[in-house]
Amino acid sequence: MARIVSVGTAVPDYTLPQEEARDFARNLFKDSWTDIERYLTIFENASIRTRRLSRPRAWFEDERTFSERNRAYTEEACRLGEKAIRRCLDPVGISPEEVDHLFFISTSGLATPSIDARMVNRLGMNPHVKRTPIWGLGCAGGAAGLSRAYEYARAFPKSRVVLLAVELCSLTFRRNDRTKSNLVATSLFADGAASVLVVGEKASVPAEVNRCPKVLDAMSTTWPDSLDVMGWEVADDGLKVVFSRDIPHIVREKVMPAVECFLNRSSLTLNQVERYIAHPGGKKVLTAYEKAMGLQANELIHSHSILGEYGNMSSVTVLFVLERELKEKHKQGTYGLLTALGPGFSSELMLMQW
């Protein structure tokens, strides 16, 4: 049985208070929208206090080319990725050279050789380490990548698998995009990296790993005819964000049936799940989760907390929530449900047990 052993996280150096983000948006959008003040309320309603950016605010005041922003992505992704992996592995006494498979998740930049290849050099990993870069899963990527790591560790029970997710959403910002979707993105998105160590049941690891949660199952769902709900459009000057205002409604309508179907595979009901690790796509999304699944706000306390402190870091965010959850004490036998939504429109679910 594969287990989740540790999580390491990293964020860029530049902090952006939400008040400054609102002022930035006001200056940028005011000439395009006569009623800009009415729309700026989304910054207060987002329940975000601070975010981290890969470059200082002043850097975004000037127009940047797609290639310039992508060079910044590659540079910062390598720096944060190395830091996150070391913070994941060092506490459990495993060296990068001992990793058997490295999965890399991102949707906010492009790099060939991919970032995982660069990690091999920066971390001194085994030159024979297997690498799987996965692009395009958006906010669902952290959960999906964790599922792929679990499946590999289950198939190869002696393996140590590392998942690395890096999203530098701020570097996709396009100053000339004055759409509401871009305004919403400006109020939500941030940068960060997270790494997770997953091991197979026969892997050589410290004895305390037996107290870590084991993964019981994972399920992906892609709903038909929903490609326009969330994602990117590739424009001449970069990646143009696509958002549907119907996302909270879709969550309320679609999530519960998927969760019930998933738990039924393990002969469980939602009442038997005690811990929830949900990707905080935004305050409205968390509220929709709570209504759809009949949860109290304190049952998503770590999701709300991470959203407030870091904003929406796309695929990375749910792994920040997982890191907080792993620091909690759990009774033996406690079930936990990890969930995230992303482009497709899609759902990723994982069931774990302490």
53, 341, 346: which is closest to 224 by C-alpha?
346
Rounded to whole angstroms, what are the CA distances from 44 to 173, 178, 183, 283, 309? 20, 20, 13, 11, 14
Distance CA 44, CA 196 (A): 32
Question: Tokens 């695929």 label which residue?
Answer: 315
Residues 6+ apart with CB under 8 A from 251: 285, 288, 289, 292, 341
Write the DSSP string, 57-101: GGGGGS---HHHHHHHHHHHHHHHHHHHHHHHHGGGT--GGG-SE
Q: Residue 314 is encoded by which pair of tokens?
A: 């796309």
Identified catalytic residue from 78, 88, 139, 212: 139
Residue 139 annotated as catalytic: yes
38, 15, 47, 13: which is closest to 281 by C-alpha?
47
- Are the beta carbons of 80 and 10 closer than 8 angstroms? yes
Counted residue by residue, the chain has a size of 354
Known catalytic residues are 139
